[in-house]
Structure 1
Amino acid sequence: MSSERRPSGKHHGDLRRVLEETALDLVAERGVHGFALAEVCRRAGVSVGAPYKHFADREALLAALAAHSFREQHRRYEAAIATGSEPGEQLAAFAAAYVRFAAQERTLFELAFTAGLDKSRYPELMDTGTALFDMLMPIARTIAPDENDAFDLLVRIAAAAHGLALLTDQGLVRPGRDTSEATEEQAARSARALIDEARTAHPR
């Protein structure tokens, strides 16, 4: 499922997929908070009671979409870090992939970070989000062996990439120019600077 896909026909035998894809379309059009569950039903061509076979409410549907976003991020970041073997370059590749995901999948990015969901209510959502850090922490620990320092490094890299993604989305980074590759390289440079700082603070 991607933010660019559309439901093809009324495949009620796969109701959950149809509802998720329809909701994703509405998020792309109107934002995370711009639609009601009844509208999803109307557009999908199902009864207003149909979603409750799979989702307790609108928030549960959004949680399913956000969990999908985190799984897709995990897949892309895993592929990015697999392109290298040196830990610093792996984390730089993660930072570049982060801003690439934000640019290519704006709807999924918005769902992951602006839905305002209570993660304690949705174990899958919490687990998929945590899995991203679990994948990256072993790499960060090769640079900053202390658990807290490694976590701090990872948070700072992610925060720098996230901020750059938001600034780019608002047209505040080289406005009016096609900057996808330049922005990815800028994210990688920021990550490398933070990694160099961490290595200086924690010499081997």
Structure 2
Amino acid sequence: MRIARDQIAENGAHAVSLASLARLAGVSQPAPYRHFADRDALLEAVATEGFEEFAAALTAAAGGRDGAVKAMAFTYVAFGEANIELYRLMFASRLVPDAGTGSALETAAVDAFNRLRGALSATTPADRVDDEAHLIWAQLHGLVMLKADGHIRRPLAELVEVSSLLNPS
């Protein structure tokens, strides 16, 4: 899976094939099929691993302290900037929406989102947690994608610092 992640980081998920990965790994062309049914199964596994790492980073950032949501926001944009092609696979592909209910990918994606919901629940009325979580998630996602596509040139941490969603007046 390391070779797949390296190829995704270098060329994007669209350029990954099981045959090319087999060549790079120095194994026979059918060898990857012992681990993955097809290319989509490989990409799902990579995205699942990405969401698990992302959730762990969000949890570490929150650390159960005041300012957890803002710390998570900094971590969110840093993860996206540092792993843009993995991030695109996780958030800008059909993998998660098409994942089966209860699949490892869906579970990992929901778990990552629930980290933000959990941090918000400490300071936000219960009936507003989901709405606030979606607004913050969307804002952070938009920042990462705009930066990745060249529309934002400055460090995203600067924008998180001044965000009105994260710094209500």
TM over 0.5: yes
What's 2:36 paired with? 55
Distance 1:24 1:138, change over 3 A: closer
Instruction: Identify unmatched segments of 5+ residues in structure 2.
Output: none
How many pairs align? 167
Q: What is the percent sequence identity of the aligned residues?
A: 34
Question: Structure 1 residue 101 and structure 2 residue 79: aligned?
Answer: yes
Question: Structure 1 residue 78 and structure 2 residue 67: aligned?
Answer: no
What's 1:38 paired with? 19
What's 1:27 paired with? 8
Distance 1:26 1:139, change over 3 A: closer
Question: Structure 1 residue 194 and structure 2 residue 160: aligned?
Answer: no
From 105, 109, 117, the equivalent of 1:125 is 105
Shift in Å, 1:128: 0.7
What's 1:111 paired with? 89
Distance 1:111 1:122 in 2: 19
Distance 2:93 2:116 in 1: 24
Shift in Å, 1:53: 1.6
Instruction: Identify unmatched segments of 5+ residues in structure 1.
Output: 1-19
What's 1:66 paired with? 47
Shift in Å, 1:187: 1.6
The answer (yes or no) to whether the contact 1:32–1:115 under 8 Å persists in 2 is no
Amino acid at match of 2:124: A
Q: Secondary structure at the match of 2:100?
A: helix
From 117, 136, 142, the equivalent of 1:137 is 117
Distance 1:78 1:151, change over 3 A: same
Amino acid at match of 1:160: Q
- How does the TM-score come out when normalised to structure 2? 0.87
- How does the TM-score come out when normalised to structure 1? 0.73
Q: Secondary structure at the match of 2:16?
A: coil
What's 1:16 paired with? none
1:83-114 deviation line (CA, Å, top 9, x unaligned): x622xx21111111111111112232122123
Query: After the TM superposition, which parts of structure 1 deviate over 6 Å for at least 4 consecutive aligned residues?
Result: none
Distance 1:163 1:70 in 2: 18
The answer (yes or no) to whether the contact 1:93–1:188 under 8 Å persists in 2 is no
Computed over aligned residues only, the root mean square deviation of the Cα atoms, in angstroms, reads 2.1
